[in-house]
């Protein structure tokens, strides 16, 4: 189902969907109110959600859908408007699964790439079984059916004091990252290197949004910059982020790894090489297997490693792959990750 107030964009999106034989347009709404009224009748597998809507905006529409009839939602947003980007990030926090760039005219040079990405995201997200979930403070969570659960485990504490935290996520990542990093203090003593799978056009907006919701300062990582303690360095769009020698950051244009760029495995493996047992690695919710092999590299180097537990993962793909490889020393629900990191950074003195 399309939710889009602009007739021009709605027509364009309808055309894009009609070109993909794996998609069928079940309905269209020009406002949040129309979407909420129609959803029980249309019963869509996935929703394409505009953010700037008359009346109830896309953020509030997303909140209500996820509370009343959870359905996979893909936000289609203008990547160049700061206010639209912020609303889009908050929609991800409210339950939308991903955000993609709004299409422009068919004559635009990037039209085919943007339309292809929209269709890909709609097809993938339609298969994610979102459900409401309240006990741990999240209204919704999803996981592929048949994925076995694993009990949380704290695991042993590595002996070397950590010097850098690497954290990565994909689908469902923005709210998960906000929850973990938001529970860490402003003066957190380690630099934080972060990979989030998201369209390149949205990465600066994502970093700005995260900067406004967590205590630490957040910004895009710069090639050759220093990994500063108490700062979150976000991988820029369509570039890999690595930890280099001497605590310097490296931004590279190497090919995708596992289909991802930036790739969590690239980041984690670089931390394994240059920080060894003084690394901390955290792999959160996400589709696919990116990060699992890199987290294994970190564990083999003696680092402390954490994977999100199935009970809180929006999509238990990336963490599940790490668990299968025994790459994670600790497998923890989201609300316990920050406390575990704090314990590793500032362990309690022996009695």
For residue range 308-341, list pLDDT tens digits in order. Answer: 999 999 899 999 999 999 999 999 999 999 999 9
pLDDT of 339 reads 96
- Residue from 31, 197, 270, 309 carrying the catalytic annotation: 197
The pLDDT of residue 151 is above 90: no
Q: Which H/E stretch holds residue 282?
A: strand 279-283
Q: Which pair of tokens denotes residue 249?
A: 């950051």
The reported pTM is: 0.87
Question: If you average pLDDT over residues 137-150, what whole number do you get?
Answer: 45
Q: Which H/E stretch holds residue 3?
A: strand 2-3
| CA atoms within 13 Å, Cβ hemisphere of 263 | 22
pLDDT of 154 reads 46
- The whole-chain average pLDDT of the chain stands at 89
- Write down the domain spans for the chain: 2-127, 164-345
300 — pLDDT class (breaks 50, 70, 90): very high
| The domain defined by 164-345 carries CATH number 3.90.180.10 | no
d(CA 232, CA 133): 29
Provide CB contacts within 8 A for 95, sequence distance 6+: 62, 63, 65, 66, 70, 73, 130, 139, 140
| pLDDT tens profile 49-108 | 999 899 999 999 999 999 999 999 999 988 666 777 888 888 998 889 999 888 876 666
Write down the residue that tokens 């947003």 correspond to: 77
43 — pLDDT class (breaks 50, 70, 90): very high
Q: Which H/E stretch holds residue 192?
A: strand 192-196
The pLDDT of residue 148 is above 60: no
Residue spans of alpha helices (H) in the chain: 7-18, 32-42, 58-68, 82-94, 111-125, 173-182, 203-213, 264-275, 292-300, 318-324, 334-345
d(CA 205, CA 135): 31
The three-state secondary structure class of 121 is helix
- Residue from 170, 269, 270, 311 carrying the catalytic annotation: 170
Q: Which pair of tokens denotes residue 338?
A: 């920050």
The pLDDT of residue 283 is above 60: yes
351 — pLDDT class (breaks 50, 70, 90): low
d(CA 144, CA 146): 6
Percent of the chain with pLDDT over 70: 88
129 — pLDDT class (breaks 50, 70, 90): confident
The pLDDT of residue 120 is above 50: yes
The superfamily CATH assigns to domain 2-127 is Response regulator (3.40.50.2300)
pLDDT of 134 reads 45
The pLDDT of residue 146 is above 90: no
Active-site residue flag, 197: yes
Check for a shared fold between 2-127 and 164-345. yes
The pLDDT of residue 109 is above 70: no
- Residue from 48, 115, 270, 290 carrying the catalytic annotation: 290
d(CA 7, CA 50): 12
Residue 323: CB atoms within 10 A of its CB come to: 23
pLDDT of 150 reads 46
pLDDT of 350 reads 56
- Residue 75 contacts residue 43 (beta carbons within 8 Å): no
Q: Average the pLDDT over each of 187-196, 197-206, 268-277 and give the range with the smallest value.
A: 197-206
- What's the farthest any 2 CA atoms get from each other in the chain? 70
Tell me the Cα Rg of the chain: 20
- Residue 320 contacts residue 147 (beta carbons within 8 Å): yes
| pLDDT tens profile 132-143 | 544 333 444 454
């Amino acid at each position: 189902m399309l939710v889009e107030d602009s007739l021009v964009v709605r027509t364009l999106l309808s055309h894009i969907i009609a070109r993909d034989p794996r998609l069928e347009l079940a309905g269209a709404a020009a406002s949040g109110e129309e979407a909420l009224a129609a959803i029980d009748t249309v019963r869509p597998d996935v929703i394409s959600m505009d953010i700037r809507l008359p009346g109830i905006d896309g953020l509030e529409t997303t909140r209500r859908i996820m509370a009343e009839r959870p359905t996979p939602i893909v936000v289609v947003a203008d990547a160049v408007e700061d206010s639209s980007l912020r609303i889009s990030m908050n929609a991800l926090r409210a339950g939308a699964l991903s955000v993609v760039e709004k299409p422009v005219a068919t004559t635009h040079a990037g039209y085919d790439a943007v339309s292809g990405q929209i269709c890909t995201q709609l097809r993938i997200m339609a298969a994610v079984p979102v459900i409401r979930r309240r006990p741990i403070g999240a209204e919704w969570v999803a996981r592929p059916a048949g994925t076995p659960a694993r009990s949380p485990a704290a695991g042993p504490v590595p002996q070397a004091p950590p010097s850098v935290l690497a954290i990565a996520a994909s689908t469902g990542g923005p709210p998960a990252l906000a929850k973990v990093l938001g529970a860490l203090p402003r003066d957190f003593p380690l630099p934080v290197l972060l990979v989030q799978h998201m369209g390149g056009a949205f990465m600066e907006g994502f970093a700005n949004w995260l900067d406004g919701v967590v205590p630490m300062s957040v910004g895009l990582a710069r090639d050759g910059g220093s990994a500063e303690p108490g700062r979150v360095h976000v991988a820029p769009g369509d570039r890999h982020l690595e930890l280099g020698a001497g605590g310097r950051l490296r931004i590279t244009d190497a090919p995708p790894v596992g289909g991802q760029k930036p790739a969590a495995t690239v980041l984690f493996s670089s931390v394994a090489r240059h920080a060894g047992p003084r690394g901390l690695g955290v792999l959160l919710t996400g589709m696919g297997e990116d990060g699992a092999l890199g987290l294994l590299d970190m564990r083999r180097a003696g680092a402390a490693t954490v994977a999100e537990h199935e009970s809180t993962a929006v999509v238990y793909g990336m963490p599940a792959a790490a668990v299968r490889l025994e790459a994670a020393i600790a497998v923890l629900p989201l609300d316990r990750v920050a406390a575990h990191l704090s314990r590793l950074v500032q362990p309690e003195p022996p009695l």
